[in-house]
Amino acid sequence: MKNYLSTLPSQQKNLYEQVAEYVHNLINEGILQPGDRLPSVRKLHQQLSVSISTVLEAYRLLEDRHLITVRPQSGYYVKTTIKAAEPFPSQPSTQTACFVDTSLAFRIRTAINNPQLIQLGAAIPDPALFPVATLNRLMGQEIRAQPEAVHRYNVPIGCESLRQQISKRLIDAGCSVNPNQIVITNGTTEAIFLALKAVTKPGDTVAIESPTYYGLLEALEALHLKALELPTHPREGISLAHLESAFQKQQVAACAIVSNFSNPLGSCMSATKKRQLVSLLNQYNIPLIEDDIFGDLYFTEQRPQAIKAFDTEGKVLHCASVSKTLSPGLRVGWIVAEAYQSKIEQLKAVMNYSTTIAPQLTVAAFLANGGYDRHLRKLRRSYRSHMELMLQAICHYFPAETRVTQPQGGHVLWLELPQHFDAMVLYQQACEHNISIAPGIIFSASGGYNNCLRLNCGIPWSDSLEKAIETLGILSKQQ
Distances (CA, A) of 223 to 158, 204, 226: 24, 9, 9
Contact criterion met (CB below 8 Å) for 462 and 72? yes
Could you tell me which stretch among 85-93, 186-194, 365-373, 374-382 binds ligand PLP (CB under 6 A)? 186-194
What's the closest the beta carbon of residue 335 comes to ligand PLP, in angstroms? Answer: 11
What's the closest the beta carbon of residue 188 comes to ligand PLP, in angstroms? Answer: 3
Instruction: Return the SS3 of 47.
Output: helix
Give φ, ψ of 67 to 5 degrees: -95, -30
Nearest to ligand PLP of 123, 475 (CB atom): 123
Nearest to ligand PLP of 448, 458 (CB atom): 458
Nearest to ligand PLP of 188, 305 (CB atom): 188
Q: How far apart are CA 297 and CA 462, in angstroms?
A: 22
Pairing of strands 412-416, 452-456: antiparallel
Q: Which of 32, 58, 108, 123 binds ligand PLP (CB under 6 A)?
A: 123
Interaxial angle between packed helices 15-28 and 41-48, expressed in degrees from 0 to 180 and rounded to the nearest 10? 110
Nearest to ligand PLP of 26, 335 (CB atom): 335
What's the closest the beta carbon of residue 354 comes to ligand PLP, in angstroms? Answer: 16
Contact criterion met (CB below 8 Å) for 269 and 209? no
Could you tell me which stretch among 17-25, 86-94, 151-159, 187-195 binds ligand PLP (CB under 6 A)? 187-195
Site string for ligand PLP, 41-70 (x = CB under 6 A): ------------------------------
What's the closest the beta carbon of residue 42 comes to ligand PLP, in angstroms? Answer: 39
Size of interface with ligand PLP, in residues (CB under 6 A): 14
Nearest to ligand PLP of 195, 258 (CB atom): 258
Q: Is 187 in the site for ligand PLP (CB under 6 A)?
A: yes
Nearest to 387 by CA among 338, 459, 313, 280: 459
Could you tell me which stretch among 79-87, 185-193, 238-246, 352-360 binds ligand PLP (CB under 6 A)? 185-193
Could you tell me which stretch among 72-80, 181-189, 334-342, 450-458 binds ligand PLP (CB under 6 A)? 181-189
Instruction: Return the SS3 of 371.
Output: coil
Could you tell me which stretch among 130-138, 182-190, 242-250, 281-289 binds ligand PLP (CB under 6 A)? 182-190
Nearest to 335 by CA among 352, 348, 350, 349: 348
Q: How far apart are CA 230 and CA 242, in angstroms?
A: 7
Contact criterion met (CB below 8 Å) for 220 and 227? yes
Nearest to 199 by CA among 217, 225, 180: 225
Q: How far apart are CA 453 and CA 415, in angstroms?
A: 5
Site string for ligand PLP, 133-172 (x = CB under 6 A): ----------------------------------------
Q: Report CA dihedral (450, 234, 299, 37) to the nearest 10 degrees.
A: 60
Nearest to ligand PLP of 129, 293 (CB atom): 293
What's the closest the beta carbon of residue 12 comes to ligand PLP, in angstroms? Answer: 44
What's the closest the beta carbon of residue 357 comes to ligand PLP, in angstroms? Answer: 18
DSSP string for 114-147: -TTSEESSS----GGGS-HHHHHHHHHHHHHHST
Nearest to 402 by CA among 381, 426, 384, 380: 426
Could you tell me which stretch among 12-20, 184-192, 302-310, 358-366 binds ligand PLP (CB under 6 A)? 184-192
Nearest to ligand PLP of 260, 402 (CB atom): 260
Nearest to ligand PLP of 204, 291 (CB atom): 291
Paired with 39 in beta bridges are none
What's the closest the beta carbon of residue 191 comes to ligand PLP, in angstroms? Answer: 8
Residues 213-272 that bind ligand PLP (CB under 6 A): 213, 215, 258, 263
Q: Which of 333, 409, 439, 458 binds ligand PLP (CB under 6 A)?
A: 333
Residue nearest to ligand PLP according to CB distances in the complex: 187
Nearest to ligand PLP of 188, 392 (CB atom): 188
Q: Is 189 in the site for ligand PLP (CB under 6 A)?
A: yes
Q: Which long-range contacts (CB under 8 A, 24 or more apart) does 197-200 make?
A: 197/223, 197/347, 198/317, 198/337, 198/340, 198/343, 198/344, 198/347, 199/253, 199/254, 199/287, 199/289, 199/317, 199/340, 200/225, 200/253, 200/254
Max CA pair span of the chain: 72
Q: Is 125 in the site for ligand PLP (CB under 6 A)?
A: no
Q: Which of 221, 291, 292, 311 binds ligand PLP (CB under 6 A)?
A: 291
Buried b / exposed e over 86-102, threshold 16 CB at 10 Å, is: bbeebebeebebbebeb
Residues 299-328 that bind ligand PLP (CB under 6 A): 321, 323, 328
**Strand ranges (E), 350-463:** 403-404, 412-416, 435-436, 438-439, 452-456
Cα 304–chain centre separation = 12
Nearest to ligand PLP of 54, 186 (CB atom): 186
Residues in touch with ligand PLP (CB under 6 A): 123, 187-189, 213, 215, 258, 263, 291, 293, 321, 323, 328, 333
